[in-house]
């Protein structure tokens, strides 16, 4: 249960709306019991008053009738307000939870998240956080409101008969204490099974959607669909078990309420306080006991969801409580300034591995002076991209030191480090947005900029990288490029990545296979553009091709995690 404490503290931010929801829930229960109790007394008293002409003439029908109508109106209004307030509080709580989770997630590096699948991550950030709304909506609010109502009902009944108040409210309190414990135990395994089977199903579904092209090409759709259907069956089975427990809990509450009503009917029949025979007072007390089922029914389902809520909290906490493997200073050091003339990159005795027993880089040293153009050649998997990941601080080396502009790279704040580098990565990610949206992210953010302030510049870089075909039509920059740039070819996606680099004026240019997937002619053109762009910059390029190698000041060959001077193979 301790895992829920951070979320309860987070809930305190919405204490006002939560309190309003709780108050309206209590008023709804109060008016419901008041309506039924007054109605029972009114009907019974009216019947007794009608036995004689004198009593019927003396009986005040209007005040109780007005009370019944008043309770009806207040009940309707409070029920509507309670729905609005509790759901508004729930939506605000979910918003706070998501913002809090993302703020915890953003500082985490690739090392923190390397063992987590995309589908599992998505499920934790969406479904598990949604599950946490049970904590307020189905647990805290109904349990607290019903406990307050038991106290209020005790005061009311005790006004007429203390013994009846003790029996009625003691029985209700016993149900309030015992039923949640029973159905927490019964719902524990099914609740956890729902969370786990939902996570498994979503992971399978996401894998199938993302790999649809490969599954179709290899005729493996049927096999994966069968696995998905099996995961779906497990999910439905766990949901069916939880539904059965829900029905059982409701049946138990109805049975308990029936026993309480029968007991109160027997005791009240012997007299209610000074009213012997009890007459209308007996009806009032019995109807109050009958109306108490409204506050007992939410108790039935409150704790059966607690196990799934606890598991969801644990899964979210597994992400949010991680210590970032890579940290940055929170403030900029004014002495750490990076300019085109001060971009010397120094790597000394770097050792790095993703797994402890599999070294990727071993004793690697490299010096790139300001303004130098350096290329690193090597076969796929030799560690070239890992080297760039260390320079950009996506990963942290286990040994050695990396310096930029004469200072340890760990001394730079993240904004300062990012503003000093332009990176063309091996994998170009395009957002499901417009062509303009996918380009302007490379520009410095300025709230004063209007949406179309940079259109001329965007069009210019698209033309430079040979994407004139995307500039057709009236509003080419507003063209939607699809999810992940699906409407574009691989070569077009690569050139958009190069266009982003041309939009970013940083002194250090890092290229990771910048022309991968391009034909020879386009590759030469793109490299010529990048080299011209990098004339006054420091350039480090990772590649396995020899295009533009002659333009480099220094070329290294990477093998077994180390760098060696590259010697071109003589041509006979």
| pLDDT tens-digit readout, 207-263 | 888 888 888 888 888 999 999 999 999 999 999 998 898 889 889 999 999 999 999
CA distance 506 to 443: 11
Label the pairing between strands 399-404 and 345-355.
Answer: antiparallel
Is the per-residue pLDDT at 44 higher than 50? yes
Tell which residue, 369, 371, 366, has the closest CA to residue 387. 366
pLDDT band at 572 (very low <50, low <70, confident <90, very high): very low
CA distance 460 to 480: 19
| pLDDT tens-digit readout, 168-219 | 999 999 999 888 888 888 888 888 888 889 888 888 888 888 888 888 888 8
471 C-beta neighbours (distance < 10 Å), count: 14
Q: At what angle do helices 162-210 and 306-320 cross, to 10 degrees?
A: 50
Q: Is 460 helix (H, G, I), strand (E, B) or coil?
A: helix
Is the per-residue pLDDT at 305 higher than 80? no
Alpha-carbon distances, residue 287 vs 39, 60, 149, 207, 453 (angstroms): 8, 21, 15, 57, 71
Label the pairing between strands 538-543 and 508-512.
Answer: parallel
Task: Locate 183 and state its tokens.
Answer: 């159905």
| pLDDT tens-digit readout, 514-533 | 888 778 888 888 888 889 98
Yes or no: say if 506 and 412 are a contact pair by the CB < 8 Å rule. no
| 17 vs 308 pLDDT, higher one | 17
Contacts of 360 (CB under 8 A, 6+ apart): 352, 353, 354, 383, 386, 561
Phi and psi for 324 in degrees, rounded to 5? -55, 130
Q: At what angle do helices 280-291 and 15-49 cross, to 10 degrees?
A: 150
Is the bond preceding residue 432 a cis peptide, omega within 30 degrees?
no
In this prediction, residue 307 carries a pLDDT of: 78
Residue 236 sits at the vertex; the CA angle it makes with 231 and 237, to the nearest 5 degrees, is 95
Tell which residue, 131, 129, 135, 141, has the closest CA to residue 95. 129
- Partner residues linked to 401 by β-bridges: 348
In this prediction, residue 335 carries a pLDDT of: 62
Tell which residue, 317, 120, 132, has the closest CA to residue 200. 120
In this prediction, residue 385 carries a pLDDT of: 86
| pLDDT tens-digit readout, 66-92 | 999 999 999 999 999 999 998 898 888
In this prediction, residue 105 carries a pLDDT of: 87
Q: Among 88-92, 234-238, 283-287, 480-484, which is the least confidently predicted range?
A: 480-484
Question: 3-state SS string over 231-262?
Answer: HHHHHHHHHHHHHHHHHHHHHHHHHHHHHHHH
- Partner residues linked to 424 by β-bridges: 511
Lookup result for tokens 């590759």: 523
CA atoms 514, 518, 523, 529: torsion sign: negative
pLDDT band at 571 (very low <50, low <70, confident <90, very high): very low
**Residue-range domains of the chain with CATH:** 2-320 (1.20.1560.10), 345-565 (3.40.50.300)
Tell which residue, 351, 328, 339, has the closest CA to residue 400. 351
395 C-beta neighbours (distance < 10 Å), count: 22
Q: Is 555 helix (H, G, I), strand (E, B) or coil?
A: strand
Side by side, the strands of the sheet bearing 554-559 are 421-424, 508-512, 538-543, 373-377, 554-559, 562-565
CA atoms 559, 562, 563, 564: torsion sign: negative
Alpha-carbon distances, residue 568 vs 52, 526, 546, 556 (angstroms): 121, 23, 10, 11
CA atoms 316, 7, 174, 29: torsion sign: negative
CA distance 150 to 565: 83
Burial class (CB in 10 A: 0-12, 13-18, 19+), 36: buried
Tell which residue, 291, 261, 260, 285, has the closest CA to residue 271. 285
Mean pLDDT of 39-48: 88
CA distance 410 to 540: 20
Yes or no: say if 352 and 377 are a contact pair by the CB < 8 Å rule. no
CA distance 455 to 307: 53
Q: Across the chain, what does the average pLDDT equal?
A: 86
Residues above pLDDT 90, as percent of the chain: 25
CA distance 96 to 173: 34
In this prediction, residue 428 carries a pLDDT of: 85
């Amino acid at each position: 249960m301790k895992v829920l404490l951070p979320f309860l503290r987070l809930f305190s931010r919405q204490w006002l709306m939560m309190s309003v929801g709780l108050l309206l829930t209590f008023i709804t229960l109060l008016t419901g019991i008041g309506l039924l109790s007054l109605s029972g007394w009114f009907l019974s008293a009216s019947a007794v008053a009608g036995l004689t002409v004198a009593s019927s003439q003396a009986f005040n029908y209007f005040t109780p009738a007005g009370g019944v109508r008043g309770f009806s109106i207040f009940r309707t209004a409070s029920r509507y307000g309670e729905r609005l307030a509790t759901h508004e509080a729930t939506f605000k709580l979910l918003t706070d939870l998501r913002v809090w989770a993302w703020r915890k997630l953003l500082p985490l590096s690739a090392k923190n998240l390397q063992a987590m699948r995309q589908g599992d991550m998505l499920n934790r950030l969406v479904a598990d956080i949604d599950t946490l709304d049970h904590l307020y909506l189905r647990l805290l609010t109904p349990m607290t409101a019903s406990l307050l109502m038991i106290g209020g009902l005790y005061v009311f009944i005790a006004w007429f008969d203390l013994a009846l108040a003790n029996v009625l409210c003691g029985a209700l309190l016993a149900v309030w204490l015992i039923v949640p414990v029973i159905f927490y135990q019964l719902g524990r395994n099914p609740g956890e099974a729902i969370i786990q089977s939902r996570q498994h199903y979503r992971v399978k579904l996401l894998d199938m959607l993302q790999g649809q092209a490969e599954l179709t090409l290899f005729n493996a759709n049927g096999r994966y669909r069968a696995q998905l259907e099996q995961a779906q069956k497990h999910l439905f089975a766990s949901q069916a078990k939880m539904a059965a427990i829900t029905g059982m809990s409701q049946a138990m509450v109805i049975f308990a309420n029936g026993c309480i009503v029968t007991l109160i009917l027997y005791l009240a029949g012997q007299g209610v306080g000074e009213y012997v025979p009890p007459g209308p007072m007996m009806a009032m007390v019995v109807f109050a006991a009958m109306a108490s089922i409204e506050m007992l029914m939410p108790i039935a389902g409150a704790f059966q969801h607690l196990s799934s809520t606890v598991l969801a909290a644990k899964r979210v906490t597994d992400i949010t409580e991680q210590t970032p493997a890579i940290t940055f200073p929170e403030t900029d050091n004014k002495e750490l300034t990076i300019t085109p003339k001060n971009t010397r990159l120094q790597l000394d005795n770097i050792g790095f591995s993703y797994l402890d027993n599999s070294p990727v880089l071993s004793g690697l040293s490299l010096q790139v002076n300001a303004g130098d153009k350096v290329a690193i050649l090597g076969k796929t998997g030799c560690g070239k991209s890992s080297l760039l990941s260390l320079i950009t601080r996506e990963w942290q080396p286990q040994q050695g030191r990396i310096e930029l502009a004469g200072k340890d790279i760990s001394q730079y704040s993240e904004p300062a480090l990012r503003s000093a580098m332009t990176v063309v990565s091996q994998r170009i990610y395009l957002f499901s947005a417009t062509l303009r949206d996918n380009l302007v992210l490379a520009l410095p953010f300025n709230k004063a900029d209007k949406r179309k302030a940079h259109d001329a510049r965007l069009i210019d870089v698209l033309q430079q990288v040979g994407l004139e075909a995307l500039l057709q039509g009236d509003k080419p920059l507003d063209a939607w490029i699809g999810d992940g740039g699906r409407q574009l070819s691989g070569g077009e996606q690569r050139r958009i990545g190069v266009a982003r680099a041309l939009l970013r004026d940083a002194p250090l240019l890092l290229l990771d296979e910048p022309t991968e997937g391009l034909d020879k002619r386009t590759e030469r053109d793109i490299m010529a553009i990048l080299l011209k762009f990098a004339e006054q910059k420091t350039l480090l390029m990772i590649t396995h091709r020899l295009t533009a190698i002659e333009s480099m000041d220094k070329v290294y060959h990477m093998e077994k995690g180390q760098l060696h001077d590259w010697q071109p193979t003589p041509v006979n």
